[in-house]
Structures are given as structure tokens and as C-alpha cells.
Chains A and B, each alone.
Chain A
Amino acid sequence: MRIRPIARGDLDGLQALSRQTGVGFTSLPDNREFLASKIESAARAFEERTPVDDRLYFFVLEDEDSGELAGCCAIEAQVGREVPFYHYRLGTLAHSSVQLDLHRTIDTLFLSSDHTGDAEVASLFLRPEYRGADRRHERNGALLSKARWLFMAQFRDRFPDKVLAEMRGVFNEEGVSPFWENLGSHFFPLNFNQADRLTGLGQKSFIGELMPKFPIYTTFLSKEAQACIGEVHEHTRPALEMLKKEGLRWEGYIDIFDAGPTVEAYIDDVRAVRNSTLCQVEVSAELATEAGGKNEGESGERPEWLVSTTAMVGFCACWVGRGPEGEVITLSETEARRLGVGAGDTVRVLST
């Protein structure tokens, strides 16, 4: 399994992925034209033919055995440049009067575009066939999530100071967001999925046009809606934990539709960015036989070391069976082939 930039020949594979993502994954609609343009713009981003603030780096997880796409992930170089990017910022207003013996704080939601210009890690999807209990040891989800940090560390100058990730908010058994029902539905003549789909398609201007401009006192929302603020959907909890381990934190920003938290960090502070190092490649024919010709990292052992190449076009990342010794990392022939590197090349290595 390896991560690589999406390529112009991946349209069928991407469409197959989009059909599996389902409701709630709005950035990959099953729309061939849209997907084709997404691929084209991603390809141009990796070729550095688009401005540095207007790039979507879209990656796929490829199963080289079958040639199938197992998943995808993306980095938006800077959000909010083409279309506005909104959050609610959860703020606190003191509400106090000595004479009335009153001292309370009131939570308020302020519409904000504070994250304009930040990078975003997004669109992570792993097909169910690659993530069941029997394949957990392969760490495909972690590969998708962490490869992006290696990419950002390698091309640090292409990214701004901060990075964020939006987490899916709470939905009840009927698939309804209590936060949306209590707030957004008063202002939008759409249901949640329609509104969410439009934002997924990048058509966000309606938000600024229809959303309340004044702060919302959360005390006016129902208890259920208030309970959604900053809380994630239970399926999103593992992804949130992974990001937290990298050092991303919730600073009070939430999604304006479902109130899910946005976590953020300075890119230089992200654990994987800070800890990854550059190493020289050595290739050993003996290692391949040791692993019995089976793909390393898929041999039943939980892989620990993540390696990526250092070129933007043809960027590649995968798990390897061992860490570096000094500034040298020894790869098996299979691993070297998978990454497209040879002895003497430089790679980026991360212990996870």
C-alpha cells in the first residue's frame, strides 16, 4: 500500500471511491465532471502550475497488488481564498453586576473567518475493505492521515503558519443534526444535507448571505443543540484522537452547520512535522527474503516507520519494516520499488 498524488488516469477509481463515501462526505460527490476537474486541479497543484495559495493536494492510497484505490486524503494549501470560509467561534461574555450580586458568563457564537489562509487537512476516506478488524494492523488509516504531515514537512515553504481539520459533528439516530435543526434551519431554506452538499461543492457564498451576522447567545438554543457544540460524531472520534496526538487542539471554533469542532495547530508544532528526519537510502536484497517476499507492513506486524520521498511530482509514502540507523535507512527491494527510490536517494522518515 502506498500514498501517491492522484493522477489524471484515476477518474474511474475516484468515482468508485465517491460512490462508497456516502452521505456526509461532501467533498467527493458522485459527479464525474466535478471529479475530473478536481483531479485536473490537483495534478496541476503537484506540478506547481497553480499559485501556492490556491492548491488542493489530493492523494490516493493505492493497493499495488490489485491496482485499486483504497482511499484518499487531501491538503488544502490555504482555505478561504477563493470562497469565504466560515466558522462559529465560541466566545464568552462576562455578565456581571456587583449591585445585583450577579456574575455569570454567557457563551456566544460569533461568525468568523479567522481561519482564512490556513491549510486544511481534509477528505480522508478509507474503503471499508481496507479497514476491518482483520486489517487494522496494516494501519491504512494512519498512513492516509500521517503521510500528509510528511508532505507538509517536506514542502514547508508552500504552506502557511497554521493547519486545521474540521471534524464531523453530532447527529441523532435519525441522522439529523440537533444543532442544525435548532439554528441553521431558521435561516436556510434547505435541509442539512442540501446545505452541506453545496458547501462540499465549494458553493459557500450562500452561507454569508443567509447566516445571522450578529453573535448567537447559546442560551437561546435547545439543550440538545447546546450539547452538540464542539462534540464529534462517534465515528469521527478515532480520527480526532489521531490528530490530537499530533498536537492539534480545539480552540473554540466549530462548524456552522453541525457544530463539530475544528482542531488546529501551528504546522511547525505538529509532532510529525517536527520529528520527521531526512535519511539516505540503502537497499538490501537480504531484507526482502527475510520478509518472505510478502509486502512488509502487511506481514502481520504492526508497522511503526513511515517513509516518504522528497519530490513533489511523484511523491510517495508507505510503511517500512524498520527505522534508520544514524542517517541511513535500509529498505528492502520491495519497499524501494514501492517508493520509486534507489540507493543514495534521500527520503523523509517518521517514527509513529
Chain B
Amino acid sequence: MLVVRPARSADLPALERLAGTATPRLTNLPAHRDRLEERITRSQRSFGRAVDFPGDEHYTFVLEDRERGEVVGTATIRAQAGAVDAYYTYRQETLIHASQQLNVRREVQTLSLSHEVSEASLLCALSLDPRYKGTSAESLLRRARLMFIAQYPERFADLLAVAFPGFLDEAGESPFWASVGEHFFQRGYQEINHIAGVRSKSFIAEVMPQFPLYLPLLTPPARAAIGREHPDHEVALEEMLAEGFVRSRHVDIFDAGPVIKGERDRLETFRRASWHPVRIRPASSLPDAEPAMIANQKLGEFRCVVARYALSPTGQLMLSPEHAEILGVEEGRAVLAAPLALPDAIDALDEGEL
């Protein structure tokens, strides 16, 4: 039985382990005990605080396997990507260089530092125990955050963003970093990523070159890496595109990984989520039904599980006593449910950016 819940102080060793096994290592999930401890504390404060509009709150969740009694995944929402400092991305832009004299028109691609994504709420720092990869646990961990946002919209921005890890070669090096950042920092990708994780990324970004970069001057492998996700995250990216996220013109400043954006109203989970009163029935008597994410409405005691979307003729959601217990709900209480399955992914660029 798997459940997503807010992280607690006791989860620290598990978080440390998950930070160490994330592939690739994540800037926003450094394998650094003090930072992770701070993160848990900060998250607990955020859950406990009355919030009217998004600020510098971080909400960190864990995925717990109740049978094993183990924390096997973690994921975070930053209410605002750049609340205290700016959230830096490179924005891909096209400049037209045209000459009447020569009767030519050329499109020149550039990357410009941007703070545009700073306002969005950021889904980040996801790491899952490899044993659960490809199971519904992965979707649950990733999208339980949407179930949380759906319940507390005032705490988040209308626009959500996800930055996917960028392409790395077999040696674990980023061709984009090698062609761009390394010129300015003389440090390898892994090293700078670690420093950025322990300190902050905007701290590094402030020392990045401030003028736009001309793509024709980058190496071909660096150009090819722009907007390309790490191979291990292809499936995850596809799921988020199916959810209704769209590719944006923004990429990560270190490895050029894609930043995708989604307006809350256009995401499948928000559109299809609905409230149902609970009816508790023995597991053996529950009818067969599509799997769904089911979440309670207890802010600090938030729980989200995958269960069958079994509705009674009168619209009650039928839950097993085990699920009801994990969710902490009694008969008659309302829960939020949304189908786990998504329509096929549409890989599109944000229309608003075309």
C-alpha cells in the first residue's frame, strides 16, 4: 500500500538516500544532510502556515510503502519558482537579420537569460527508488502534487512549471555546460551542480554571462542538447505532456534541459478531479474500476493514494477500510478523486508563445 504524505523530520535518512540515487543528480535535491534537514523544516513550516497567496513556501512530500515501512520517493512543490531570488532560465529566441542590399533574410537563434518563469509554481526535486520505476507509484508521486494544488489553489500560481534534467552523455557530462558554462566557471557540470544545490542556483546564475548567446557559436553537441531531456526522464516528460503541460521556450541554464509549463485550468488532473463522499466497503466487495488518485482534504495531514475509482449509483466513492484508514477519513467525509490514466500525450509548444 503506497501513500504520498508531507515529509517529516524522521524522513531525513530516506531523503538523503533518495538524493544520492537520483539519476541524474538533481540540483534542487542535494545529497547534503543539513540542506535536506532545512528543507524538511521549511516544508513543515509551509504546511503549517496560513497562506493567502504564493510566496517562498516549499512543500516536500514523500512516497511511503506501508508494507515495507519505507520511504521510497520524494517530490517538492515550490510555491513560487523565484520567490526570494530570481529563477533563471535561458529563453530561446529568434532574431531576424535581413539585408535589403543583399536581399537575404537570416534567422539567428539566441539564448537570453530570463526571469520569466520566476512567478510560476515549480514541481521539482523528484526522486524515486528505482524498484518502483515504471509502476503506478511513479505517477502517484509525480501527480499527487497536483491533487494538493487543486485543493489549495490560493497557495500556488495559476501557472505551473517543471524543469526536466537535461541531456548528459555516457560520461555523465553535459555537452551544453561544456560549451557554455564551463567557459565562465572552469568547473565540471557535476561539480557546479553540487555547488548550486548546496548554495543556490540563482547565486551561480548571477555570475553567468548576461548577454544573449548566439547559437551558431556553440558546439554542435551543445546545440543538440538544447531542450532535450535526460534519457531517464523521457517517460516522465511524456506523462506531463499528456497531463496538459506544454514545452516552453525556456531551458535550464546549466544543462539546457526543457522547462515545461502548464496552466492549471488546462491540466487533466484539475479538469477531471471531483469531490465524492466516502462509503467504506470491504476490499473483496469493491467493484472493478479504473485506478484513480484519491486525496483527503487535510492540509498538514495530506494523504494521497491510488485506489479504484469505484462509484456507487448515488455518486459515493467506495473505499476499502485500509484506504480509508490511510487517508484518515470516515464514512460520509469527502475526498478528491481524479483518474490516474491520461489521454495520449500531445507534444506541443505553448500556443501563447508561438
Contacts and interface: CB of A to CB of B under 8 A. Distances in A.
The answer to whether A and B interact is: yes
10 contacts: A96-B207, A100-B185, A183-B217, A187-B97, A206-B102, A210-B102, A212-B97, A214-B211, A219-B184, A220-B218
A342 interface: no
A209 B183 contact: no
B101 interface: yes
A108 B106 CA distance: 23
Given A97-B206, A186-B214, 9 more contacts: A95-B209, A96-B207, A186-B217, A187-B108, A205-B99, A210-B102, A220-B213, A220-B214, A220-B217
Interface in A197-228: 198, 203, 205-206, 209-217, 219-221
Contacts of A183: 217
A104 B184 contact: yes
Tell me what chain A mostly uses at the interface: helix, strand, loop, or mixed: mixed
B203 interface: yes
Contacts of B209: 93, 95, 106, 217
Given A95-B207, A100-B207, A214 B106 contact: no
Interface in A157-182: none
B217 A203 contact: no
Interface string B104-125: 1010101000000000000000
Contact of A221 (B110, B206, B217): B217
B159 interface: no
A6 B101 CA distance: 31
B106 A210 contact: yes
Contacts, number: 77
A324 B209 CA distance: 60
A209 B98 contact: yes
A99 interface: yes
Interface in A207-252: 209-217, 219-221
B99 A95 contact: no
A108 B185 CA distance: 16
Contacts of A215: 211
Contacts of B108: 187, 212
Contacts of A106: 183-184, 209
A189 interface: yes
Nearest to A194: B102
A23 interface: no
Given A96-B207, A99-B203, A102-B185, A186 B216 contact: yes
A186 B104 CA distance: 13
A203 B108 CA distance: 23
B102 A102 contact: no
A343 interface: no
Interface string A266-286: 000000000000000000000
A215 B217 CA distance: 12
A326 to B, nearest CB: 57
B101 A209 contact: yes
Interface in B200-232: 203-204, 206-207, 209, 211-214, 216-218
Given A187-B97, A214-B212, A97 B102 contact: no
B14 interface: no
Interface of A: 93, 95-97, 99-100, 102, 104, 106, 108, 183, 186-187, 189-190, 198, 203, 205-206, 209-217, 219-221
B199 interface: yes
A205 B211 contact: no
A190 B211 contact: no
Closest 9 A-B residue pairs measured CB to CB?
A186-B216, A209-B99, A219-B183, A220-B217, A206-B99, A210-B97, A206-B101, A97-B207, A214-B211
Interface in B71-104: 95, 97-102, 104
A95 B101 contact: no
Contacts of A221: 217
B314 interface: no
B341 interface: no
A189 B104 contact: yes
B285 interface: no
B102 A190 contact: yes
B56 to A, nearest CB: 21
A214 B207 contact: no
Nearest to A183: B217
B195 interface: yes
Contacts of A213: 95
Nearest to B112: A214
Contacts of A190: 102
Contacts of A97: 203, 206-207
B186 interface: yes
Contacts of A211: 97
